[in-house]
Amino acid sequence: MTAAIEVENLRCEFRVHTGLMSAEKRVVAVDDVTFSVPAGSVLGIVGESGCGKSTLARLILGLLKPTGGSVLVDGKRLFDLDRKARARLIQPVFQDPFASLNPRRRIKDIVALPLAAQGTFSRGEIERRVGGILERVGLSAAMGERMPAQLSGGQRQRAAIARALVLEPRIVICDEPTSALDVSVQAQILNLLADLRRDLGLTYLFISHNLAVVEHVASEVAVMYLGRFVERNETDALFRKPRHPYTQALLESVLTPEPGKGVPDIGLGDAMPDPSNIPPGCRFNPRCRIAVERCRHEAPKPMVRPPRGMVECHLA
Amino acid sequence: MSALLDVEELQVTFGRTAAVRGASFRVERGETHCLVGESGCGKSVTALAVMNLLARGGQRSAKKMSFAGTDLTSLSDREMARLRGNRMAMIFQEPMTSLNPAFTIGSQMAEVMTRHKGGSRAAALDRAAELMGRVGITAPGMRLGQFPHQLSGGLRQRVMIAMALMCDPELLIADEPTTALDVTVQAQILRLLAGLKRELGLSILLITHDLGIVARVADHVSVMYAGEVVERAPTADLFRAPQHPYTRGLLSCVPVPGRVQRDRPLGSIPGVVPAIGPGFAGCAFRSRCAHADETCTRAIPRHQAGDAHDYLCRLEPDWAELQPA
Ligand SMILES: Nc1ncnc2c1ncn2[C@@H]1O[C@H](COP(=O)(O)OP(=O)(O)O)[C@@H](O)[C@H]1O
Ligand SMILES: Nc1ncnc2c1ncn2[C@@H]1O[C@H](COP(=O)(O)OP(=O)(O)O)[C@@H](O)[C@H]1O
Ligand code: SF4
Ligand code: SF4
Ligand SMILES: [Mg+2]
Ligand SMILES: [Mg+2]
């Protein structure tokens, strides 16, 4: 089976100027990441804010040029494809549908735009497809006549999903698609995304800071820390037997609705990671509970772990 | 002993919008009380009404609103200002909205103390440093000289908590204090709040939309929907035997790690929160409720399901479920 997404030694640096006099800083947002996503599966990506999740998403979507390494989507390099072909292959769904929907257009025109941009669909065909996808995501024809501001947050996210799927792409990159929504609406959207994936055979890259959400939707999960995948495995294995101390801390910090359990002590300290100043050795060592001397000067290499995973830690 | 904060039938309107519609709840001394509900249900407005900090155009009225025996509705603006930041303090989701970017952390913390309690600036700075250590900030001396933008989000929220503690308040109102933070930092901040409650005997009114937080930190819970408190209960009872259809629906929507069943849909509540105009009568949840019938458009009774457990719904309590396990 060909991989839907194949990423090799991917790297992305930003140069930022911090002040008038200060020197340029180098922010390493994605630092030598390699993985592949089998067609029809869902790779979930978790990690704290600033660890590089959105940068990775933009690299895969071809919205950002990597500093090094390569991305293949359905076996092709996105930079070799024109915009139209790219749009038929891969589409994004972002966190804030309000920011990504043109406020001055009706919903049905927003959803029609990707079709119109192809230049190959007749008016009748466009109308038929837009009607079909709106219905599929649970928006009535009357909703299609409205402006984005006249919809609730959940309805706007449905519209964004309709726009992403109207060209019937193979791959959808979801970057925190439910993070701005209330739980009851989040559940509606997650159920919708799951149905669509099953019915249309889609592949998702699903980014979220909510581990429970990722556990619910993903077949495999990668844990990102300061630009790297520090652990990756099948979802059940990762949640049942987290090996990396950072994965363990992340899982412990999830507050499940179980009264009487109190709030766990995850012991990470108050030193926050800074991608412009990545520590030598293991990048997690300043916050690691079990770090040993070796961790401060030698970076751990990725090691294979069953059933289909990897971890980067000297002690895991 | 009477409750520290006792609110009965609070109403808040903004012009034709009824933001809070008869909310009642009590915060007992030394307890954490959670107000939980989805966005727009009136949590923040409720807290701001208690603090008398409503935005322009906001009108509040209440059958009763007392703090440590004092009737808050009878206080002048000056008397209220003397209570705020002193005996009751509030922290918000985004600390930057209440920190002044132009002043150092130290000078802002010291100012709170000298305004309410007098005393020297040096003494106030000493207390600030001590409290920063108490809230888990390493190297407080260095942090006092820094400006807000030089701190991470988690550190800023710790600073806000330390600042709120400057005058030894009896009540801390925290409005979504960890919503903007990573889960790892959230756990640390909530652990800190739980410790302060225990060690200082602080009472906390914690506003959140997150049922996981509620389960882990609350002693009592009030669930809000469309401006009303639809269910109140001790935390364990609420999670064990929720009675209001909205509470039940909300609980079914939360994916619980380790217990999720992939390929099975999550529970969800159909539809959206309705717009509530003037003259709205009956249950506001009826457009989304599987049990709704025509009686739900009339006045809704409040049923007692236990000592401190009641809810607003026409349905009778499920006594079998409510039996202690
Ligand atoms: N266009 C950019 N210019 C400079 N720095 C950036 C840019 N985009 C992202 N970064 C930085 O790269 C790091 C990773 O960011 P991001 O991928 O958005 O993280 P996440 O989505 O995990 O929160 C952060 O430190 C962020 O500040
Ligand atoms: N300053 C204001 N002017 C008008 N309406 C307001 C104002 N503040 C809040 N509201 C309305 O009051 C209701 C409750 O808001 P709020 O208490 O902020 O909800 P939440 O539960 O999310 O904190 C919402 O419908 C909101 O639109
Ligand atoms: S390599 Fe060392 S510092 Fe890094 S995660 Fe493992 S034990 Fe901790
Ligand atoms: S009063 Fe009626 S509509 Fe409201 S929650 Fe109860 S059964 Fe449902
Ligand atoms: Mg992001
Ligand atoms: Mg609020």
Ligand 1 pocket, residue A53 CB under 6 Å: yes
Name the E strands within chain B.
5-14, 17-27, 32-36, 58-61, 64-67, 70-71, 88-91, 171-175, 203-208, 220-225, 228-234, 302-306, 309-312
Q: Identify which has the larger pLDDT, B263 or A217.
A: A217
Say which residues have a Cβ less than 8 Å from residue A52's Cβ, sequence separation at least 6.
A12, A29, A30, A31, A224, A226, A227, A275
pLDDT for B325:
61
Q: Which two tokens stand for residue B139?
A: 């190297």
From B250, B315, B316, B318, mutation site for ligand 4 pocket: most ligand atoms within 8 A of C-beta: B315
B272·A185 Cβ contact <8 A: yes
pLDDT tens-digit readout, B264-315:
788 888 887 887 877 889 999 999 999 999 999 999 999 999 999 999 999 9
Domain borders along chain A are 3-99+170-311
Instruction: State how far residue B260 is from chain A, nearest Cα, in angstroms.
Output: 6
Q: Which two tokens stand for residue A202?
A: 């889609």
B141, B145, B150, B151: CA torsion to nearest 10: 40
* A103, β-bridge pairs: none
pLDDT tens-digit readout, A274-289:
899 999 999 999 999 9
How much is the average pLDDT of B13-31? 95
Q: Half-sphere exposure of A227 toward its Cβ, with a 13 Å CA cutoff?
A: 22
Domain B1-87+170-325: give its CATH code: 3.40.50.300
Q: Identify which has the larger pLDDT, B134 or A4.
A: A4
Nearest to B258 among A184, A239, A249 (CB): A239
List the alpha helices (DSSP H) in chain A.
53-60, 83-89, 97-100, 107-118, 123-136, 141-144, 153-165, 183-200, 211-217, 235-240, 245-252
**Which of the ligands is closest to the CA of residue B93?**
6
Residue whose C-alpha is closest to residue B259's, from A242, A257, A185, A198: A257
Q: Residue B271 CA to chain centroid, in angstroms?
A: 25
A261·B215 Cβ contact <8 A: yes
Nearest to B186 among A215, A253, A258 (CB): A253
CA of B37 from ligand 6 middle (Å) equals: 9
pLDDT for B197:
94
Please tell me the distance from the alpha carbon of residue B276 to that of residue B79, in angstroms, as a whole number: 34
Q: Are B312 and B283 in contact (CB under 8 A)?
A: yes
Instruction: State how far residue A257 is from chain B, nearest Cα, in angstroms.
Output: 4
- pLDDT level of residue B66 (50, 70, 90 thresholds): very high
A3-99+170-311: CATH superfamily: P-loop containing nucleotide triphosphate hydrolases (3.40.50.300)
Q: Are B111 and B105 in contact (CB under 8 A)?
A: no
Q: Which atom of ligand 4 is nearest to the CA of B284?
A: 4
Say which residues have a Cβ less than 8 Å from residue B24's Cβ, sequence separation at least 6.
B7, B8, B9, B10, B229, B232
How much is the average pLDDT of B88-101? 90
DSSP A37-81: EETT-EEEEE--TTSSHHHHHHHHTTSS--SEEEEEETTEEGGGS
Instruction: Give the range among A234-238, B134-138, B184-188 with minimum mean pLDDT.
Output: B134-138
Q: Are A215 and A190 in contact (CB under 8 A)?
A: no
Q: Where in chain B is the domain with CATH 3.40.50.300?
A: 1-87+170-325
Neighbours of B273 (CB within 10 A): 22
- pLDDT level of residue B121 (50, 70, 90 thresholds): very high
pTM over 0.90: yes
pLDDT for B1:
64
Nearest residue on chain A to B258, alpha-carbon basis: A239
Please tell me the distance from the alpha carbon of residue B33 to that of residue B217, in angstroms, as a whole number: 9
- Asked whether the predicted pLDDT for residue A295 surpasses 90, the reply is yes
* A161, β-bridge pairs: none
Helix and strand numbers (H, E) in chain B are 11, 13
Is B180 in CB contact (< 8 Å) with chain A?
no
Question: Is B290 buried (19+), middle (13-18) or exposed (0-12) by CB count in 10 A?
Answer: exposed
A270·B38 Cβ contact <8 A: no
Ligand 1 pocket, residue A49 CB under 6 Å: yes
Q: Which two tokens stand for residue B53?
A: 């900090």
First-to-last C-alpha distance (Å) of chain B: 29
pLDDT for A18:
67
Nearest residue on chain A to B183, alpha-carbon basis: A253
pLDDT for A215:
92
Q: In B160-182, which positions are buried (b, 16+ CB within 10 angstroms) versus exposed (e)?
A: bbbbbbbbebbbbbbbbbbebbb
Please tell me the distance from the alpha carbon of residue B176 to that of residue B74, in angstroms, as a whole number: 28
- Asked whether the predicted pLDDT for residue A268 surpasses 90, the reply is no
Residues with CB under 6 A from ligand 2: B 14, 17, 19, 37, 39-45, 55, 57
pLDDT tens-digit readout, B194-239:
999 999 999 999 999 999 999 999 999 999 999 999 999 999 999 9
CA of A52 from ligand 1 middle (Å) equals: 6
Mutate which of B272, B285, B287 to disrupt the A interface (most A C-beta within 10 Å)? B272
Please tell me the distance from the alpha carbon of residue A162 to that of residue A152, in angstroms, as a whole number: 15
Please tell me the distance from the alpha carbon of residue A123 to that of residue B197, in angstroms, as a whole number: 64
Q: Which two tokens stand for residue A73?
A: 């989507």
The ipTM, to two decimals, is 0.88
Q: Between A183-200 and A153-165, two packed helices, what is the crossing angle to 10 degrees?
A: 20
Average pLDDT value over all residues in chain B = 93
Is B173 in CB contact (< 8 Å) with chain A?
no
How much is the average pLDDT of B247-252? 94
CA of B183 from ligand 6 middle (Å) equals: 19
pLDDT tens-digit readout, B128-175:
999 998 888 888 988 999 999 988 888 899 999 999 999 999 999 999
pLDDT for B256:
81
Q: Residue A16 CA to chain centroid, in angstroms?
A: 24
pLDDT for A20:
63
Nearest to A270 among B137, B216, B217 (CB): B137
Residue B280, helix vs strand vs coil:
coil
Strand ordering across the sheet containing B302-306: B88-91, B171-175, B203-208, B32-36, B220-225, B228-234, B309-312, B302-306
Ligand 1 pocket, residue A50 CB under 6 Å: yes
Instruction: Give the range among A21-25, B112-116, B314-318 with minimum mean pLDDT.
Output: A21-25
- Asked whether the predicted pLDDT for residue A299 surpasses 90, the reply is yes
Q: Which two tokens stand for residue A96?
A: 């804030």
- Cβ contacts (< 8 Å) between B258 and chain A: which residues? 215, 239-240, 256
